[in-house]
Structure formats: structure tokens, C-alpha cells
Amino acid sequence: MLLELFLLLCLIGIFKFVISWLVSPQVLKLDGKHVLITGGSSGIGKAMAKEAIRRGAVVSIMARNITKLEAAKVDLEKVAGNNFKPVCIVSVDVAGDYEEVQKAVQKTEDKQGPVNMLINCAGIGVAKTFEDLKIDEFKKLMNLNYFGSVQTTKAVISKMKEQGGGRIVFISSQAGQLGLFGYTGYAASKFALRGLAESLQMEVRPYNIYVTVAHPPDTETPGFEEEERNKPEETKLISGTSGLFKPEAVAKQILQDSVNGRFCSYIGLDGWMLANITCGMSPVHSMCDAIQQVITREPMT
């Protein structure tokens, strides 16, 4: 009896491995590939640029502040060392005029070649209660966090299809997985990214394009420091239970998940639990992911 059970478990394991191997995307090798990062002058975006450079990628970064872009360029090119590859910088408001965004993307492609991976990292965080948050602040959050990502993705998607594949990354948040006190505006803009990512993945997968939506926790960045200044005490108490992560660790995990073609990228134990509890009907990377999500799902009532 034990022998039969052992053989059955072995067969199940082999079956899972074969199915996962058949359905999982090939790992994208970044050496020589063009990685375009919005919001790449600081925080998670800059950390992802460094990680991409370490893997041999040709990097372009876009942001609004040219002074910060120039400073980031110097730092990033030091990372390359002997494998020096110039970093392309372009100043643009990704939430502004779409034609300007198109021109900015074209500038990077003229210098670095077609975009193989787009990382939508430009964004802001504002933590206020619904009544305290002004209408203009609601609009600003949605314009930058959501429409900024829509515009840059729109600018690269056609060429990415033509070249036969690529990766698109949306930097959401754990507040894009569940609503939290003080995040009525911010969470809404980050939830919108998940809906965009799920729908887009269905459209572009036949073209060998894989979408990743990342849900990083609180991360030690200039943006987080700014957000903390006016954050309601209730929000601080809730979010503080998950701790504060280094941007380097967050960037490394997101980039690895993206090259692997994983749809959902999470960091830490809390991130793992949230990813499984809130998975819904999200795309899965492998058979193991699917089984894991079914096991951890809350029973229907």
C-alpha cells in the first residue's frame, strides 16, 4: 500500500513538472536587451535599473525632473563597471500629452533599440481619509499611477508584438490587493492597474508578451518618506505591521519574477499570503501556482 502511494505521489509530481514546463514561459535573458523604466530616477525604479544593468541590459529611464535623471545616470553607469553601456535619460511627464510620451519612447528606441521590457514605475502615494482628500488629488493619483502606465504601455505594445515578445511590468502595491484606511484614492489607482494587467495579459500572450503586476510592500524610498509626513495615524499602525523593505530587495524580486514571466510578483511572507488570498481569477505562472492558489482560497459561502 505504501509503495503504491509513493508511486502515485511520484507520478503526480512528474505530471505537475511536465505541465508546468509546457505552459511556463521561457526565461527572458536580459543581456543586451533594452529595458525602459519610468520613474527610474529614484526609489524602486532606480533600484530596478541597477539590477537590470547588473544582468547586462541596456537601460533607459524616464522621469520629469532632468536634474534627478542626470544624477541617476551617473550612478547607474558606475554600476556597469567594465561592461559600460550608456544609460539613456528622457525627461517627460508620462501622465501628460500622449504624443510627448510617444516621442520620449521613440528617443529611447533610437538610442537603445526596440524595448524588450517596459517597467511602469512612475507613481505617487497620498495617504488621507476620503473626506480630507481633495478631488484634484484623486485625479492626480489616477492620472499618474494608472494613466501614466497606460500611455507608456500603449507607446511600446505594437513594436513589442512585431518583434515577437517582451515583458511589461506594472508596479502596483499591496494597497492594490486590498483596501486600507487612508488609501481611498491611492488604492483605487493601484487596483486599476491589476484590472488593466489581467485584461492585457489575455490580449498579448499569443504574441509571447508576458505581463507582471507587482505588489511591493512599504519600501524605503523618497516617495515613501514624503507619504509618511501626512499619513493618518490609523494607516501607519496598519501598514507598520508589515515592516519596511529595502528598494534593492524589492527590485531584485520584481525583476526576477518578470523575466520568469510570472503574472503576480510579491515580496515577503505577508506578500505571499496576500497574493494567494486575493488571487481571484488572475493568470498563473505554473501548475504549482494554480494548485497553491486553490488550496489557500477562502471557501465560498
Q: How far apart are CA 13 and CA 19, in angstroms?
A: 10
Question: Mind giving me the DSSP string for 97-117?
Answer: -HHHHHHHHHHHHHHH-S-SE
Indicate the length of the chain as a whole number. 301
Q: Which amino acid is at 301?
A: T
Per-residue DSSP letter, 147: I
Catalytic residue among 41, 42, 60, 172: 172
Q: How far apart are CA 230 and CA 189, in angstroms?
A: 19
Pairs from 186-192 (Cβ < 8 Å, separation ≥ 24): 186/125, 186/126, 186/127, 186/141, 186/145, 188/138, 188/141, 188/142, 189/123, 189/141, 189/142, 189/144, 189/145, 189/146, 190/145, 192/142, 192/145, 192/146
Q: How far apart are CA 272 and CA 262, in angstroms?
A: 13
Catalytic residue among 41, 146, 183, 186: 186
Residues 6 or more apart whose Cβ sits within 8 Å of residue 148: 38, 94, 95, 120, 122, 123
Q: Which amino acid is at 88?
A: C
Question: Annotated catalytic, 282?
Answer: no
Per-residue DSSP letter, 55: T
Question: Annotated catalytic, 186?
Answer: yes
Question: Annotated catalytic, 172?
Answer: yes
Catalytic residue among 190, 258, 265, 286: 190
List active site positions.
Answer: 172, 186, 190
